[in-house]
Structure 1
C-alpha cells in the first residue's frame, strides 16, 4: 500500500515555458551526497542552459526540503567521488561559464569559476576571467587575453 509522506506543490508558470506541456521529474540522484536519493525537476526541458529545481531528503524531518540556491545553477552535474557540483553553460556563442561548487553546512559554496569571452577583436580574440576559493577567500587571477 502506497503512503503519501509529503506533497510538493508546483506552479506551472514557475517551471514551464509556454511551449512545454510536461514535467520531467527525477528521483534517483543523491545531490547533497548524504546517502539519500533526492528529487530534481527539470526547468525548461530541452533548453541548452537548463536548470533544475531540487529538493533534498532530510532524514531528521523525514521530508524533502527545497534548496533554492541550486535553482540558479545551470546544467548541474554531481560528482559523488569529489562531492562537488559542476556547471557549464553559455550565453549565445560568445560567453562560456564553468563553475564548481561544494556543500558546506547545507549551503552551496562556489569553489571555482572561469568565464571565457570570445570577442571580434583580432588582437585579443579571447578574454578569460578566473577566480578560486583558497583558504576561505576568493583569489582572482584577473583577466587574461589570448
Structure 2
C-alpha cells in the first residue's frame, strides 16, 4: 500500500497541463485620414474682348480675352466681306496690359502701294511701342504678315518720301533715329543716328551697303 500511493501521485502530476499565458495580438490600425475641404478657387475667368473697324470694303474684327486685371490677350483678326468671312488671322501670342494700349487700325499704307494695311500693336513700353503689320496682297486679295516691321519702334510713315521713320530713346541719354525704304518689296534701313552713353554714330546706305561714321 505504501508503494502504490507514490505512483498514483506521480501519475496525477503528469496529467496536470500547464497553461501558458496567451500573448495578446497587436493590430496596427491605420491613422485616421484628415479630411480636407476643397476650397473653391476665386473666379478669375476672363471675358471676351472685341473691337471692329471698317474700310477698304471689309470689316475687320479683333477678338481676344480680357482678364479681371485688365490685361488683354489677342486671339484673332477676322476679315469679313459683306458679312461673309474672307480671311482669319491667328494672333494668339500678343497681349497688352489694358485697353488704352490697344492699337488696331487700317489707316496706314505701310509699303506705299496704294492699299492700306492692318496694324496691331505687339509691344508697349514706357516711351515706345511697336506693331505687327499685315500687308494687302493685290493678287490674293488677302493680307500677309510682314515680320521685319514687328520690331520698328514708334513707327511713322512719310507718304511723300515713301519712307518709314523710327525715333525713340532708352533711358535719359540713349536716343535712336532711323529711316527705312522699300526696294523690290523688301524693307531696308537707309540711315540711323544713334547716341549711346555719349558716343554718337551716323549710319547711311551707299551703293547697297551701310556706311558707319
Secondary structure of residue in 2 paired with 1:132: strand
1:49-128 alignment runs, 5 A limit: 49-117=128-196, 119=197, 126-128=198-200
CA RMSD of aligned residues (A): 1.7
Q: Map 1:20-35 to 2 at 5 A.
A: 20-21=98-99, 23-35=102-114
Q: TM-score, normalized by length of structure 1?
A: 0.82
The answer on whether the counterparts of 1:6 and 1:63 sit within 8 Å (CA) in structure 2 is yes
Find 1:15's aligned residue among 90, 94, 110: 94
The answer to whether structure 1 residue 136 and structure 2 residue 191 are counterparts is no
Q: CA deviation at 1:78?
A: 0.8
Q: Secondary structure at the match of 1:4?
A: strand
Q: Check whether the contact 1:24–1:45 (CA below 8 A) recurs between aligned residues.
A: no
- Where structure 2 has 5 or more consecutive residues not aligned to the other structure, the ranges are 1-81
1:122 aligns with none
Cα distance between partner residues in 1 of 2:124 and 2:87: 25
Number of equivalenced pairs: 131
Tell me, in whole angstroms, the C-alpha distance in 1 between the residues paired with 2:123 and 2:149. 15
Deviation at 1:20, TM superposition (A): 2.7
Cα separation, 2, equivalents of 1:40 and 1:129:
31
CA distance in 2, matches of 1:48, 1:67: 24
Partner of 1:144: none
Structure 1 position 107, deviation (Å): 1.4
Distance 1:47 1:55 in 2: 25
Larger relative contact order (CA 8 Å, sep ≥ 6) = 1
Judging changes above 3 Å, is the alpha-carbon distance between structure 1 residues 10 and 23 closer, same or farther for their aligned structure 2 residues?
farther
The answer as to whether partners of 2:122 and 2:150 remain within 8 angstroms in 1 is no
TM-score, normalised with respect to structure 2 = 0.57
Q: Is the 8 A contact 1:42 1:50 kept in 2?
A: yes
